[in-house]
Chain A
């Protein structure tokens, strides 16, 4: 029996998927969770074989849950999403997620992927991979991304400089380089673009 935890904030989809997967003879759904925190707590408590995590959940998203689980447990995480935003697959792979598939796959296909992952394999859906390969390249350097990340909640230049242990002048130089590269007027606009395209 493969013990599976399902986390999805959309109750209809979660219960339907759980019901369909319970019909599989070798899969047992041990928990159904409505958000990321719940999924994290249940996964630690029940230690299932596979966690099936929705990407878009309030609070912690699927990749964040997988990342935290990877630190403490050896549970294998599958992320499932309706629409993979740019950069998500890369983030998921570096978080140690072993499978990534779109929500549109039928329950039989999901079951096949669960079996494969439980047996130690990996699965990256071709559709998700194709999307990830046609992502727009980020024109910013790693340091510039650090600056945007440190200032994404409206921190001042001084605060960013303290977080990154840089001189305020250096931070200002990075910011003006970012603004010129992205063709925007303010740092806040740059942050919005970078978040939208999955760069930070």
Chain B
């Protein structure tokens, strides 16, 4: 059970981060899909106008140019639309002034060139919808705009549509009238996606906050308990000092031990979630040894993440610490390889007394040393071997891999 725990903590910590990255990419893609959809629709409309009015003998080039300028002027408005939740509304209205002015100008040019009201009005109405309206107002604007455009279409069809426009008249009228509604539907879809994304973010933040609170409570409980014990031990020492100095001394030592306990507990709490893949652990070890001036050769099986990290990681730590403590030596070799169902970890170094000093390491609050490693490996059903050669000290741990669960 304990053997699997760090691994599962590791994957649990990684998964949300990866998912968040994927989702934030997803929402960016959705935005560009929305953006290009609206722009494509606008350019389509310009194309329809140009072709229809060219056939009717109107100045099609002027319509094409004004139409393209209009579509281009909506680009800044669309780009502003994306970030509108973050920015102040007054700022956005001010930034929108220039594009809106250009769009009004285009509307006038389009109306004059085509000789119809609807071709002038439709671009202006749909551009107005891209502005930063308060909640609920945009719906009213789009309904009012569409009714207005239907009315204008009706009037145009009766009075101003040129003679050569018969069949295309329907196309021009229909497209121009429903451009605003189409734009708003597309933006609405984007708004839904964006609010979903915000909900996901705040959920992640909430989870992080809860976790932080839980850790804070744990720290508080732990420290509170230990501080109380220490206070009692010190008080006792104070009282005993006059009558029984030896007993007082005993209490002082006990208080010091309590401080160590408290410290260790806090450290365990802080490092509870720190588990890195075995491959990273080995790479870190190689980096440290190289930093200490040791020529280090590391061979790690590509599949190393499946090796039993809870057994091997302490061996890597212990062995690396021992090598570092001996000044690194001239060379070191780390290798983690697989042969069948067994994993073989080999750490070799030219220091000749690597094992002998472990006792003193223990005196300075150190790890369990070689016997500890041996015990841990044996418990996992593996074999542990220490070779003391001439100018080489080698630690070899061979352990069975974690059986793959179906």
Contact = CB atoms under 8 A, between A and B. Distances in A.
Indicate whether A and B interact.
yes
Interface residues of B, number: 39
Contact of A112 (B281, B326, B363): B363
A121 to B, nearest CB: 7
Given A90-B288, A106-B256, A135-B276, A122 B365 contact: no
Given A104-B263, A183-B21, A124 B365 contact: no
Given A93-B291, A126-B321, A134 B284 contact: yes
Contacts of A183: 17, 20-21, 24
B16 to A, nearest CB: 12
A126 B366 contact: yes
A160 to B, nearest CB: 25
A132 B361 contact: no
Main secondary structure of the interface of B (DSSP, over half): helix
A136 interface: yes
B142 interface: no
A89 interface: yes
A162 interface: no
A130 B320 CA distance: 9
Contacts, number: 88
A143 interface: no
B285 interface: yes
B288 A126 contact: no
B271 A113 contact: no
Interface string B283-319: 1110110011100000000000000000001001110
Interface string A113-148: 100000001111111011111111100000000000
A121 B360 CA distance: 13
5 contacts: A90-B291, A94-B291, A126-B366, A133-B285, A134-B281
Given A129-B288, A137-B276, 15 more contacts: A89-B288, A93-B324, A94-B291, A122-B328, A124-B324, A129-B317, A132-B288, A133-B276, A133-B284, A133-B320, A134-B271, A135-B276, A135-B284, A183-B20, A183-B24
